[in-house]
Structure 1
Amino acid sequence: MAWQTGQTKKEEARAVSARAAARRLIRMAGIVAALVLGGGPAAATAGGAAEVLREPLPGVVLDESGREREDSGWTFYFDNDTLTPTQRDEDYTGGVAVTLAGRRAQDLAVSLDAPLGWIDRLFVPTAGAAFELHSLQFGALAFTPGSITSAPIRAGDRPYASLAYVANGRSYVSGGTTVYHTSFSLGVLGSGLVPAFQRTFHRAIGARRPRGWNHQIADGGEPTFRYTLTRQDLRLAGRSGSRARYEIKSAVAGSVGYLSEGSVALSWRWGRINTPWWAGPPDRVEYIAEPAPATGGSVLDPGSRELYLWGGVKAHARLYNAFLQGQFRDSDLDYGPADLRPLIAEAWIGVTAQLAGEYRLSWVMRYQSSELKTEPGDRSLLWGGLVLSHDL
């Protein structure tokens, strides 16, 4: 009888948690619309911005008929916390993703572009009016506690968590100083795919073997989703010397799903820049980068290879994080809202170099303030990323 009473209480707690999660998602949908659609007009740019804005819109990603190219490029992302000077192996320990850009992102069998377009028509002011660029991304993320060599649960630390997903992205470009980016992803939390990959990767590089994946969030697998909406505004742009350019842009964003939050960001890049201001997506990142369109290739200075620094800061108001709180399935270790900090700060700095032709390689280091209030999980996150892209 005591066992049955315990089970009943646990089921009631899960039902309450599910209702609370649904209410959070509804509230977040309203916040997303208010934040992103309520952004004011872009500030006046510097005199040099006129040159930036006269770039062909977005001419280099069009085919002979004036449509978006069938295949306009690809991007490979690799995140790992060992790609920083500190050589950490905890928290957001790594991710990998491949993005395909062009009309083909709409047509593949696994494409989510149709539901993304339907949602965008509800929330994006320029949907149907601005030029649309499309992308499709396949990716996976992994999160681990501070010690991966211990199999037992360590209360207070970050739980193991993983996500394998497919996502479609759209960029609405109108030639002005405002661009909207959206994405819609479907994935699986708690599958065995990501743990198997991490164990294989660690074995290949001679790293420690993780032993606690059987305690991961939603172990055994559970479907999940996420919709994001970002408004980017070019605030300032111009020349700095004979060959260098600078750009400063702001962003306001919101998302609903396995990460539900609102955010504001300010980012910059400086150096030899020859791609459109809206092409670089450094501030559209929640762990690994959002699916992004092809950069459009060398537009501003076709004879000059890109080499520039970029960075930014971001503030998150986070309502829900499935990687810490779980969803509907029981998890061996998860946390409630009272255990998490709702306000999170983020900062990043990186460098991008055009290697040859339209191949570009970027390295970035990212910092995020602590989200967990409990010990020993109360610590900041630090990880690095490599991005290889090719515009066709």
Structure 2
Amino acid sequence: MSRRTPSPPGLPLSLASMRLAACVVALAGATLSESTAQATESCESGSGFELRGGSLRLENDLFAGTDQNYTNGVSVTLVSQDRRPGMSRDCLPGLLRVQARLIDAVNPGFWAGDPRTTRENVVVKFGQSMYTPEDYARTDLIENDRPYAGLLYVGSSWNRRHPLPTPGREVLDTREVTLGVIGPLSLAEQSQTLVHELIGEDTFQGWEHQLENEPAFQVAADHKVRYRSNPFGQTGAWAMDQITSRGFRFGNIETSATLSWEGRFGRDLPDDFGTYPIRPGAENRSPMAAGQTQSQDLTTSLGGHFFVLLEAKAVGYDFSLDGNLFEDSHAVSRRPLVGQVAIGFALQGSIFGRRTKFAVMRVFKTREFDEQESRHAYGSIALSMDL
């Protein structure tokens, strides 16, 4: 859009969002730690939420030179220390205990695995996503473009990691529950207006037509397999791997099934399961491999790699396209099959003795609804660090 000059405002937008997210990380981490500290002395060591680290992620289409469709997303992730299989859950915060009981009832096979080689951790995520049509100046309802929509959410997930019999292959299984609110209570209008005013950009004028307030819910399951190879010899620092993933989501946020593949090549590849845009089960703070300690996991030298992600998705429901579930609202003609490609690079290593990873990617998406005139793209930056 000719009215936009995305490159200059991209930096202040990123810094402001990252600073805000850092404050949320500190506050939420203190709350979780306090909740665990109040547990009884009979709790087994490590059975509460012992904070290992966190991740901050900002996604915005200003990085791609537009301001429409999926226009902004921010997420803050808190990751626990690794837990041994079978460890008591009584000292965990209530949401994580309830989720574990739901997994017991619905998917008991999730807990299967050799306790000698299986590791697990728990993750708590907070975030906000917003969606807008292309024309910022129109105050009427734009029937042939995406609805104004916002989502504010909190999610929790259990991750379990174990090796496969074939050397160099590992599995990460994730089960996640997301709760939130759609509509004005998501504060998407206020967030976007505040940032646009701070950076001197035009504000969007049609937020009065956004989706109505509605509780949001989603359950998600992901299964990732990592295949690692080293074409330069087992002792070489340069390596490559690939990660396949299949996932399922159900709820009034999104109901979908996905298949994806990621290829990575670089020096000192991180011990995780890839780099993904914001979505349930995608914050790659997996448990460490069995027998590995956090000090052993620190990379002594700076490493980096390039990655490519390909994803195909079958969509049965998407609130940002289908509108409100429980009442009539603005909607467009959602396409049932969509795809996306992400290209990026990541740097990882030890900074002041703390494991750190910084990733940047550009995401390209196919048209998501019939009325959409062109494909969409946005940028994503993420910082993960152990505390």
TM-score normalised by length of structure 2 = 0.74
1:108 to 1:189, Cα distance in 2 relative to 1, 3 A? farther
Partner of 1:312: 309
1:369 to 1:66, Cα distance in 2 relative to 1, 3 A? same
State how far apart, in whole Å, the 1-side matches of 2:297 and 2:124 are.
26
Q: Does 1:133 align with 2:115?
A: no
Q: Where do 1:1-392 residues align within 5 Å?
A: 70-84=50-64, 87-102=65-80, 112-121=95-104, 122-123=106-107, 125-127=109-111, 129=113, 130-176=118-164, 177-192=170-185, 193-218=187-212, 221-240=213-232, 242-257=236-251, 258-278=253-273, 280-282=274-276, 285-286=278-279, 290-293=282-285, 299=296, 302-330=299-327, 332-335=329-332, 339-354=333-348, 356=351, 357-374=354-371, 377-392=372-387
State how far apart, in whole Å, the 2-side matches of 1:350 and 1:295 are.
23
State how far apart, in whole Å, the 2-side matches of 1:95 and 1:108 are.
28
1:298 to 1:369, Cα distance in 2 relative to 1, 3 A? farther
Deviation at 1:65, TM superposition (A): 5.9
1:252 to 1:238, Cα distance in 2 relative to 1, 3 A? same
State how far apart, in whole Å, the 1-side matches of 2:162 and 2:102 are.
19
State how far apart, in whole Å, the 2-side matches of 1:213 and 1:104 are.
43
Between 236-245 and 290-299, report the one with greater CA deviation.
290-299
Q: What value does the CA root-mean-square deviation take over the aligned residues?
A: 2.8
1:211 to 1:256, Cα distance in 2 relative to 1, 3 A? same
State how far apart, in whole Å, the 1-side matches of 2:245 and 2:67 are.
30
Report Cα offsets for 1:342-371 as digits up to 9, x if no partner.
111111011111372423221111111111
Q: Which amino acid aligns with 2:362?
A: M
State how far apart, in whole Å, the 2-side matches of 1:190 and 1:104 are.
36
SS at 1:72 equivalent = strand
SS at 2:346 equivalent = strand
State how far apart, in whole Å, the 1-side matches of 2:102 and 2:229 are.
32
Deviation at 1:389, TM superposition (A): 1.1
Partner of 1:34: none
State how far apart, in whole Å, the 2-side matches of 1:83 and 1:358 are.
27
TM-score normalised by length of structure 1 = 0.73
State how far apart, in whole Å, the 2-side matches of 1:108 and 1:199 are.
38
Bigger relative CO (Cα 8 Å, ≥ 6 apart): 1
1:237 to 1:282, Cα distance in 2 relative to 1, 3 A? farther
Identity of aligned residues (%): 22
1:266 to 1:274, Cα distance in 2 relative to 1, 3 A? closer
Given that 1:270 and 1:308 are in contact with CA atoms closer than 8 Å, whether structure 2 keeps it comes out as yes
State how far apart, in whole Å, the 2-side matches of 1:217 and 1:99 are.
27
SS at 2:103 equivalent = helix
SS at 2:188 equivalent = helix
Partner of 2:8: none
Report Cα offsets for 1:195-254 as digits up to 9, x if no partner.
101100111111110111111122xx2101111101111234224473211111111111
Given that 1:170 and 1:293 are in contact with CA atoms closer than 8 Å, whether structure 2 keeps it comes out as no
State how far apart, in whole Å, the 2-side matches of 1:364 and 1:83 are.
10
SS at 1:132 equivalent = strand
Q: Which amino acid aligns with 1:143?
A: Y
1:119 to 1:347, Cα distance in 2 relative to 1, 3 A? farther
Deviation at 1:293, TM superposition (A): 2.8
Partner of 1:15: none
Given that 2:176 and 2:281 are in contact with CA atoms closer than 8 Å, whether structure 1 keeps it comes out as no
Given that 2:242 and 2:262 are in contact with CA atoms closer than 8 Å, whether structure 1 keeps it comes out as yes
Given that 2:161 and 2:286 are in contact with CA atoms closer than 8 Å, whether structure 1 keeps it comes out as no
Query: How many residues are aligned here?
Result: 316
Report Cα offsets for 1:163-183 as digits up to 9, x if no partner.
000000111112332220121
Q: Which amino acid aligns with 1:127?
A: W
1:134 to 1:281, Cα distance in 2 relative to 1, 3 A? farther
State how far apart, in whole Å, the 2-side matches of 1:74 and 1:152 are.
41
Q: Which amino acid aligns with 2:50?
A: E
Between 256-265 and 227-236, report the one with greater CA deviation.
227-236
SS at 1:119 equivalent = helix
Deviation at 1:104, TM superposition (A): 11
State how far apart, in whole Å, the 2-side matches of 1:289 and 1:96 are.
15
SS at 1:350 equivalent = strand
Given that 2:58 and 2:380 are in contact with CA atoms closer than 8 Å, whether structure 1 keeps it comes out as yes
SS at 1:251 equivalent = strand
State how far apart, in whole Å, the 2-side matches of 1:225 and 1:175 are.
32
Q: Which amino acid aligns with 2:191?
A: F
Between 356-365 and 290-299, report the one with greater CA deviation.
290-299
